[in-house]
Amino acid sequence: MTPEALDSSVHVQGEWDADSHRAWRGTASDFAFVLDPSGAIRGLGCRRDDLWRELGGAKAWLGQRWASVATPETQAVVGQLLGNVAADRLLGWHLVGHKAPSGRSVSMLCSAARSGTHVVVYGRDLGSLDIIDVLKEHEAAVACAHANSLLNRGVGMETLLLDVLAPAARRLGDLWTQDACTFVDVTIGVGRLHEVLHALDSGGQISTAPVASGHSILLAPCPGEQHTFGLAMIAGLFRHAGWQVQQERGTSNTVLVQAIRRDWFDVVGLSASCEDRLDALTEAIRTVRRRSRNPAIRVLVGGNLFTCRPELAALVGADATAFDGRQAVRQAQAVVQNLPGSGDTGARKRRPVKAGLQLERRSMGRRPA
């Protein structure tokens, strides 16, 4: 049977038979290999033009062993999957990276089915999957591969953090509120998001250059605050912008005081998610200003509470607030302009709280580029 006779709506090339094509058509997948008993690729199929182009078409794959086109770190997974097929074991989805002719690694979640003497391997392109499904259904390594897949395709780090990972955390919370998932699902999903951030940071993908701004910031949750993913993401954005960043996960004033007495910071950023944290946050800010090694330290506040009610920044005594990570970096850069050693000819008094709030209000209503 010719490839054209099998399906004219997709790319199908090489050696296919009706049973193999039927096995693939019954799957929710983007791409498929037909393997002979030796593991060599005899047929290819792809349901998406963009993925077909990215993989370089059939010429780069036909005749090669599947294991040889897998990335070195996932070649063992290929052997495990094919071993499970041979032993008729129950199969799940396995993460396999593929070396595209462009030099990029294309990550796919792969499974397989026997078709006579051949095996049909079918894959879901990880970069096209919904991040929530990845977080709920797969291990942290798959979520990390998903993030790397997006970066490999030209998505910027700032976009990944603010337009992919941050909305994912909010959507998990919304799903819980709507009883569409359990608290355990949310906890696991947010834990995997933290692992993605850690992997990006430890791999040097966030901090792509040495500290360049000359500024330092301490980021910490408000005393009693439990939500810390947003703060971790903000830390990544500041590092990406060339700031020296220290993040404290402790939520007591004692931990905060120890940090600001030990090291010099230009800015302290504190986060809060709900209104019952206001008194604790106000006291924490007073403590920061009174005990900091830097007598002119600036204070930013953020989190869901200030996204909804930015006017509360003045109430708690902060210099400014921000509604997202992009603006947080800009606000921090703005409030340190009056600090001694930041380009001024001399020391100036700390900017009044209202000035910081006015800066926030001028920025509200438009999204920074």
DSSP labels, 291-317: H-SSTT-EEEEESHHHHH-TTHHHHHT
What average pLDDT does range 344-360 have in this prediction? 32
For the chain, the average pLDDT equals 80
Domains of the chain by residue range: 3-128, 129-206, 211-369
Backbone angles phi and psi of 11, in degrees to 5: -85, 115
**Tens digit of each residue's pLDDT (9 = 90 or more) over 255-265:** 888 899 999 99
Cα gap 238→206, rounded to integer Å: 9
Name the percent of the chain lying above pLDDT 70: 85
State the pTM of this model: 0.64
- The pLDDT value recorded for residue 207 is 60
The answer to whether the beta carbons of residues 324 and 308 sit under 8 Å apart is no
pLDDT number for residue 198? 85
Say if CB 81 and CB 38 are below 8 A apart: no
> Is residue 348 helix, strand or coil?
coil
Q: Are 253 and 288 in contact (CB under 8 A)?
A: no
pLDDT, position 2: 47
pLDDT at 293 (0 to 100): 93
CATH 3.40.1350 fits 129-206, yes or no: no
pLDDT in tens, 284-294: 999 999 999 99
The 10 Å Cβ neighbour count of residue 286 is 14
The whole-number pLDDT of residue 363 equals 32
In contact, 245 and 219? CB cutoff 8 Å: yes
Q: Is the pLDDT of residue 366 over 60?
A: no
pLDDT of the residue at 352? 33
Higher pLDDT residue, 284 or 178? 284
Average pLDDT over residues 67-80: 90
Determine which of 122-131, 194-203, 332-341 has the lowest per-residue pLDDT on average.
332-341
The answer to whether 310 touches 318, Cβ cutoff 8 Å, is no
Q: Is the model's pLDDT at 211 over the cut of 70?
A: no
Read off the pLDDT band of 251 (50, 70, 90).
Answer: low
Give the model's confidence band at 40: pLDDT under 50 very low, under 70 low, under 90 confident, else very high. Answer: very high
CB of 284 closer than 8 Å to CB of 251: no
Residue 161 has pLDDT above 90, yes or no: no
Q: Among 27-36, 135-144, 246-255, 342-351, whose mean pLDDT is lowest?
A: 342-351
Residues 217/266, Cβ–Cβ less than 8 Å: yes
Q: Using one digit for the tens of pLDDT, what is the confidence trace for 85-127?
A: 888 887 788 889 888 887 778 888 888 888 888 999 998 888 8
Average pLDDT over every residue of 302-318: 89
Q: What is the C-alpha separation between 58 and 43, in angstroms, rounded?
A: 8
Inform me whether the pLDDT recorded for 353 exceeds 70: no
Which CATH fold would you assign to the domain 3-128?
A: Beta-Lactamase (3.30.450)
Q: Please list the helix, strand and coil fractions of the chain in percent, rounded to the nearest 5, in that order.
A: 45, 20, 35
Whose CA is closest to 196, among 145, 261, 271, 255? Answer: 145
119 beta partners: 35, 114
**At what angle are helices 229-240 and 325-335 packed, to 10 degrees?**
60
Q: What is the three-class DSSP state of 41?
A: strand
CATH of 211-369, one of 3.40.50.10420, 3.40.50.300, 3.40.50.11540, 3.40.50.280: 3.40.50.280
Max Cα-Cα span within the chain: 82
**pLDDT-derived band of residue 212, with 50, 70 and 90 as boundaries?**
low
Point out the least confidently predicted range of 21-25, 158-162, 209-213, 365-369: 365-369
